[in-house]
Amino acid sequence: MARPADGVAWITGASSGIGRATALRLSRDGWRVACTARGAEALATLAAEDPAGRLLPYPADVTDAEAVRGTVARIQAEHGPIALAILGAGTYAPDSADEFDLAAFRHIVELNLVATAACIEALLPDWRARRQGHLAVISSVAGYRGLPGAIGYSATKAGLIAMCEALRFDFRRLGLKIQLVSPGFVRTPLTDRNRFPMPFLISAEEAADRIVAGLARDGFEIAFPRRFAFLMKAARALPYALYFPLVSRLTGK
């Protein structure tokens, strides 16, 4: 794992949920953390809650690739190299074929998938030159298979999984580290919208603890809660003739 002595950490989606909890956890571990989200006020509130004063607000819209490049350049100019990046900016909204909305689908693809790629593009020139950098991308177990009510969400999380798998080969060659974070249900403002039972639900603070613990290990994927992640991985192996009836029965969809 990258260390605080190597540079600063950068977290996108830092104003709420997993990103917020992870920023606070890394600060407790001695990291200076550049925190990015669209809401400047929320980032200022987060920074004020950090007793160590190590959280550094860098508001930006990560769907704007030029703004992302500028944000990364500012962080590097003001605080030195970015040693660890945790890319967690994303959104979720229930969707279905009943009212399929291309604009809403495009928005979730731009934020969850394309914006993550924009952040990676901005990080790589410096990381390639120094042959040093640690990247963690927050996906979801919802990317393992298509789930009802999550057309855009499952599609983008599956895309993040495949993108990280593909990048792993190049990162290893370049001397860089990449990890995929695949949470199950975590209590956040996004999951608060759900009106269905969420098995193995954990807090954002517990998710942050598991992410930080996983960053210190060599494994490619950090998946949790373990029992739920195991069940979802098992579902990946099911043939369609079994998968569709099983999920329909479990979800009532």
- The active-site residue, picked from 58, 92, 144, 153, is 153
Distance of CA 103 to the CA centre of its chain: 22
| 153 catalytic per annotation | yes
Nearest in space to 219 (alpha carbons), one of 181, 252, 190, 188: 181
Q: Which long-range contacts (CB under 8 A, 24 or more apart) does 106-114 make?
A: 108/152, 108/153, 108/156, 109/152, 109/155, 109/156, 109/159, 110/63, 111/62, 111/63, 112/152, 112/153, 112/156, 112/157, 112/159, 112/160, 113/156, 113/159, 113/160, 113/163, 114/63
Q: Which long-range contacts (CB under 8 A, 24 or more apart) does 51-60 make?
A: 52/27, 52/28, 54/27, 54/30, 55/23, 55/24, 55/27, 56/8, 56/32, 58/10, 58/34, 60/36
Please tell me the distance from the alpha carbon of residue 134 to that of residue 138, in angstroms, as a whole number.
13
The dihedral through the CA atoms of 28, 5, 208, 214 has a sign that is: negative
Identify the H or E element spanning 146.
none
SS3 187: strand
Question: Which amino acids are annotated catalytic?
Answer: 153
